[in-house]
Each structure stands twice: as C-alpha cells, then as structure tokens.
Amino acid sequence: MEPLIRLENVALSHDGGGSFVFRNIDLSVVSGEFIAILGPSGVGKSTLLRVLMGLVEGSEGRVILSSGSASKMGGRAALVFQDARLMPWRTVRRNVEFGLEGIGLSRTERRQRVERALALVGLADEAGRWPRQLSGGQRQRVGVARALAVEPDLLLMDEPFGALDAITRGGLQAELLSIWEKTGKTVIFVTHDLDEAILLADRIIVLAGSPATVRGDLRVGPRPHDPSSPAMRALAGRLRALIGGEEDPGVGPYARFEGI
Amino acid sequence: MRLLAGRPSWTTRDLTPGVRVVLGAVGLVVLLATWQAVVAYGLVPPGVLPAPTEIWPAWINEVSGGFWSQAVLDSLTHYSLGLLIGSALGVGAGLLCGSMPVVDALTGGAVRLLRPIPGLAWAPFAILWFGLNTAGATFIIAISVFWINFYAAYGAVRAIDRDLYEVAAAFGHGGFVGRMLYVVLPASAPGVMAGLRTGLGQGWMSVVAAELFGAPGVGARMLQASSLLATDVVVVYMVTMALLYALTDVAFGFLSKRALRWQG
C-alpha cells in the first residue's frame, strides 16, 4: 500500500549547523493507521509533528506525500495542540470554522461541516458559547472538532490530553478512538505517556536520544488494548528499554522517564 | 475573589451599582455646594470665580445668541475629523510596526524623535501649512491622538500570544494577510479599543489647545470670554466640553463592550 506520507532521512538542526534536534528519521504512514510517537519530554516529538505538518522545514532529508512531489501537507493535515489554543474572540462554532474560511467553501457547506464536527465531539449544544465558558476538556474537544472540520487526510495530535485531569483524559481517549473508528482518519498522536500510546495506537514509534532518532517501531496488536494486560505490560517493558537505550533496561535512563 | 477572612470593613466593601450612583451624586452635590459657598461667603475676590448659580443664565445667554451652537458645531467638526484621522493613522501605523519587524526597525528612530513633541508644538506649522481654520485645528488634534493610538495598537500587537500565529498557519492563514485578519486584528482589539477610548479624552483637550490659536470653536470662544473676564461663559464651555466628552465616552464604552463581549 502506498504510504500517505513518508519521511526519508529527515533531520532538523535549529542553528543550521551541527547540533541536531533529531536526525535519520525514516517513517512511513499508511492511510487509516493510528500511530503514536512516544518519547520523553523535550525530545523533539512536537517538532517532528510540525515537520510532518509542513510548519517547520527539515534541514535534511525529504518529506514525500502520496501525490508524489515533496511539498507541504497544507490543507491535507490538521493539528490538535496540547493547550487547545482556541481563538478567545470566536465562539465555539466560529473556532471550529477557523480552518474553513478563505478556502472557497460555501456558507452552507461550512455550516454543515462545523455541525458534523461538533456532533462528533459531542458539543453540538455548546456552539454559541465562548471558549472562556468551557472546561479544559471541552476546550480540547473544540480543538479536535476544529481539526476534524477541515476533513484532513492526516490528523496530527500534539499531546492533546496531556494537560487534562485523569478522568477527563480517559473520557477523551475513548471518544477519540470512537471518532477514529467512525471516520477512518489517519492519526499521528504524540505522547510521553506509555499507557496512552498503548491504549490508542496500532503502531508506536519510539523517539529518544540527543539528537533524537527512531529507537523502535512496534505494532501493538489486536484491539481493544488494555494497558494492564500481561501482553501490554510486556510491551510497555520493551518500550521502556527502547527509550532508555541498550544499557541497563532496569534502572538507568528509562527509570527517569517513568518518573515524569 | 475575597481573600480576607470575616466581613470586609466599610472601606473595602464592594458596592452595588445603585449605591455607586447615589455616592457619585452626593460627591457632585458636595462639590457644587462648596463652590457656591466659597463664592457666596466671599472667600475669593469678586469676579475671580463665578458661582454655580450664575452658570445657567450665562448658558441660556450663549445659546440664545447662537454662539453656543456655532462653537459646539465648529469644535465637533475639528474633534471628529482630528479624532478620525489621528486614530486611523495611529492604529494603522501601530499595527503595522507591531507586526512587521522590518517596519518597526525602520521607523524606530523616527518614532523616538517625534514622539516627545506635543501636538501643540506643531501649531506654528499648522498655521503655516493649513491656516487658522478647520484643517489647521484638525491637524493638531490628529497628532495628539495619533501617538496614543500608535502605542496602544503597537503594544497590543506585541502582547499577542505567539502560539496563535502557529494556529493560524496550521489552519491555512499563515500568510501576511491571513495573520493580520485572523490573529492580529481580533487579538489586538482590546488594546486598540482602550487606545481609542483614551484618544476620545485626549481629543477634547487638544480641541481647546488647537482653537486657542484662533480657529473658531469652543476653545476660541473661551479665549474671547476670558479676555473680557466673563468667567461664567468660560465655565459654560468647560461644562459643555465635559458633557460632550461624557457622552462620547459612554457611547464608546457601550460599543466597545459589545465588540469585546468575548472577554466577558
């Protein structure tokens, strides 16, 4: 199957010189996959997401889209941010409409897409409210709806539930899986939470080191994924070892990661 | 949020709107009564200060003579034109300098040079370039209003959360026009509105200054009256201006609250 997007030997250095954030990144994403990019905080996961999005240009390597030529994902990918980042001066409805303006859609088409997206995240009744009137979980759901409304081929999520309390996060994770099942979108989900990666993803890409490289690319197995099952506990152990590097998978660097 | 334990004392208590209005009226009555008493009991030499009770007859006199409406009309023309031009240019320049580092750097030196010069200092040039007329007065008012709006808009743009630009770029509004329309204008609106509102007040102050040089209007009429020691007439126009300002300020406050209702 032809990949939706493929990274070939992508590297990024902020100073344009020798100090790399990440390098030698090879990654192929097939349509419909749910991929988690897992790694410790500050490793460059979010930056890699922005390279996929086309918001940041890699210093080396190529980003190849299914259409052929190397170019930006543009309107074909949509990003969900960790802190929702809604426009406070727009109502919920107008926030969801944000990516639909100025791309030649009719008013009716925009309204329909907004309504569909809001219904998917269960906020159809809150369309007229202001972001300040929403809870953190609701704001994040508006962020998801805003991304879904552009009907992207690729849904990029940058630790979208990282700032939420455990109960809200659990609810949103379940909701995201159900949306994914309904829409069949390709999802790339950045997280530093092992259990979250295991619960959600088909495939987990482990990013670690400095400069960061892909330490592992693991399939999770048939759904539903229960992170507390023995098979998944074993997978978690492997993931920890990969993050920690070869040396001493018992105590060394990965123990630090676990403590985050 | 109340952090103090127990009941707040009467000095720190929050007041209801009704109580605020009553207290405001009480303060005004006390001021007027004191003023009247000072004049009535001869605490100041006669002719130096008109009593509040003398103002109303003087006002009637000015209105019936047609001076009042003419002066107010002239001043309103200067004020509106100067305010409109100064605000539009100030906000525009502020937004541009705030969002384009190149423009900001290019204009930085000139801004520092011109900023400290008060609008009134331009009066000789206003007279030379435009004459003692509407255009000259408008020019002086516009300059005073310009800087307030320039800095308000500039500051508002600089304070915008930079993450919002990334959101705009991620959703197809990453170009200059997109950033301006989808982020800069709406995000800076509260700061720009605050600047416009300050400008409304500054505009009236400049009206008097601009007209003291002879352009007809409220300021010119005050100058005439004071040269004849008609202090009651001077006060008539002081009060007139205060009322006009209050009117514009309340109207603007209402509009601004509506436009910024997302702030809650």
Distance CA B180, CA B186 (A): 9
Contact B170 A133 (CB under 8 A): no
Residues in chain B whose beta carbon is closer than 8 A to a beta carbon of chain A? 163-164, 166-167, 169-173, 178, 182-183, 186-187, 189, 260, 262-264
**Domain harbouring A101, CATH code:** 3.40.50.300
Contact A74 B172 (CB under 8 A): yes
Q: What is the DSSP letter of B7?
A: P
How many CA atoms are closer than 13 Å to the CA of A34, on its beta-carbon side? Answer: 22
Q: Please tell me the predicted confidence (pLDDT) of residue A1.
A: 67
Which of A53, A79, A87 has its CB closest to that of B186? A87
Candidates A160, A215, A163; CA nearest to A189 is A160
Residue A7 host element (H or E): strand A5-13
Q: Please tell me the predicted confidence (pLDDT) of residue A259.
A: 34
What distance, in Å, lies between the first and last C-alpha atoms of chain A?
Answer: 37
Question: Are residues B90 and B197 in contact, defined by beta-carbon separation less than 8 angstroms?
Answer: no
- Whether A80 contacts chain B with CB within 8 A: no
Q: Phi, psi (5° rounding) for residue A144?
A: -65, -45
Distance CA B45, CA A81 (A): 72
Look at residue A13 and give its three-state secondary structure.
strand
Q: Which residues contact A154 (CB under 8 A, 6 or more apart)?
A: A4, A5, A29, A52, A73, A76, A77, A78, A185, A186, A187, A188
Contact B163 A85 (CB under 8 A): yes
Q: How many other C-beta atoms can be found within 10 angstroms of the C-beta atom of residue A122?
A: 14
Q: Please tell me the predicted confidence (pLDDT) of residue B6.
A: 65
List Cα–Cα distances, B63 to A258, B111, B191, in angstroms: 82, 43, 39
Distance CA B160, CA B182 (A): 12
Q: How far is A100 from chain B (nearest CA, A)?
A: 8
Domain assignment of residue A150, given as a range = 5-258
Given a cut of 60, whether residue A69 has pLDDT beyond it is no
- Whether A110 contacts chain B with CB within 8 A: no
Q: Please tell me the predicted confidence (pLDDT) of residue A186.
A: 92
- Whether A104 contacts chain B with CB within 8 A: no
Give the percent of chain A with pLDDT over 90: 53
Candidates A28, A26, A29, A57; CA nearest to A215 is A26
Lowest-pLDDT range, A92-96, A204-208, B260-264? B260-264
Contact A90 B178 (CB under 8 A): no
- Whether A128 contacts chain B with CB within 8 A: no
Q: What is the pTM of this model?
A: 0.84
- Residues of chain A found within 8 Å of residue B171, distances taken between Cβ atoms: 78, 98-99, 146, 150
Residue B81, token pair as written in the block: 């034109």
* Residue of chain A nearest B162, judged by CA positions: A85
Residue predicted with more confidence, A169 or B264? A169
Residue predicted with more confidence, A180 or A6? A180
pLDDT category of residue A248 using cuts at 50, 70 and 90: very low
Whether residue A40 is preceded by a cis peptide bond, meaning omega within 30 degrees of 0, is no
Q: Which residues contact A95 (CB under 8 A, 6 or more apart)?
A: A86, A87, A131, A142, A146
Parallel, antiparallel or unpaired: strands A154-158 and A186-191: parallel
Q: How far is A7 from chain B (nearest CA, A)?
A: 19
Distance CA A79, CA A63 (A): 17
Candidates B235, B241, B247; CA nearest to B56 is B235
Residue predicted with more confidence, B212 or A68? B212
Choosing among A98, A140, A157, A158, which should be mutated to test the B contact, i.e. which has the most B CBs within 10 A?
A98
Given a cut of 70, whether residue A251 has pLDDT beyond it is no
* Amino acid type, B245: Y
The mean per-residue pLDDT over the stretch A156-162 comes to: 93
- Whether A103 contacts chain B with CB within 8 A: yes
Contact B170 A53 (CB under 8 A): yes
The ipTM is 0.86
- Tokens 């600089």 identify what position? B158
Distance CA A2, CA B171 (A): 26
Distance CA B238, CA B243 (A): 9
Q: Please tell me the predicted confidence (pLDDT) of residue A174.
A: 93
Q: Please tell me the predicted confidence (pLDDT) of residue A160.
A: 94
To the nearest whole number, what is the mean pLDDT of chain A? Answer: 86
- Whether A78 contacts chain B with CB within 8 A: yes
Task: Tell which CATH classification among 1.10.10.10, 3.10.20.30, 1.10.3720.10, 3.90.1280.10 matches the domain B62-263.
Answer: 1.10.3720.10
Q: How many other C-beta atoms can be found within 10 angstroms of the C-beta atom of residue A19?
A: 10
Which of B164, B169, B172 has its CB closest to that of A87? B164
Q: How far is B246 from chain A (nearest CA, A)?
A: 28
Given a cut of 60, whether residue A145 has pLDDT beyond it is yes
- Residues of chain B found within 8 Å of residue A130, distances taken between Cβ atoms: 262, 264
Contact A99 B171 (CB under 8 A): yes
Chain centroid offset of residue B113 CA:
24
Choosing among B163, B165, B167, which should be mutated to test the A contact, i.e. which has the most A CBs within 10 A?
B167
Candidates A21, A15, A30, A70; CA nearest to A48 is A21
A:B CB pairs within 8 Å:
55
Residue predicted with more confidence, A252 or B248? B248
Chain centroid offset of residue B72 CA:
16
Given a cut of 90, whether residue A257 has pLDDT beyond it is no
Distance CA A219, CA A201 (A): 8
Choosing among B160, B171, B256, B261, which should be mutated to test the A contact, i.e. which has the most A CBs within 10 A?
B171
Q: Where are the beta strands (DSSP E) in A72-202?
A: 77-80, 154-158, 186-191
* Residue of chain A nearest B174, judged by CA positions: A55
* Amino acid type, B15: L
pLDDT category of residue A211 using cuts at 50, 70 and 90: confident
Contact A146 B178 (CB under 8 A): no
Residue B119, token pair as written in the block: 């609008």
pLDDT category of residue A258 using cuts at 50, 70 and 90: very low
Number of folded domains that form chain A: 1
| Complete edge-to-edge strand list for the sheet that includes strand A34-38 | A77-80, A154-158, A186-191, A34-38, A203-208, A213-219
Q: Please tell me the predicted confidence (pLDDT) of residue A72.
A: 53
What is the block-wise mean pLDDT of chain B (264 residues), using blocks of 10 residues? 64 86 95 93 86 92 94 94 97 96 95 90 90 90 95 96 94 92 96 96 89 86 90 93 93 93 88
Radius of gyration of chain A (CA): 18
Given a cut of 60, whether residue A247 has pLDDT beyond it is no
Distance CA A68, CA A80 (A): 26
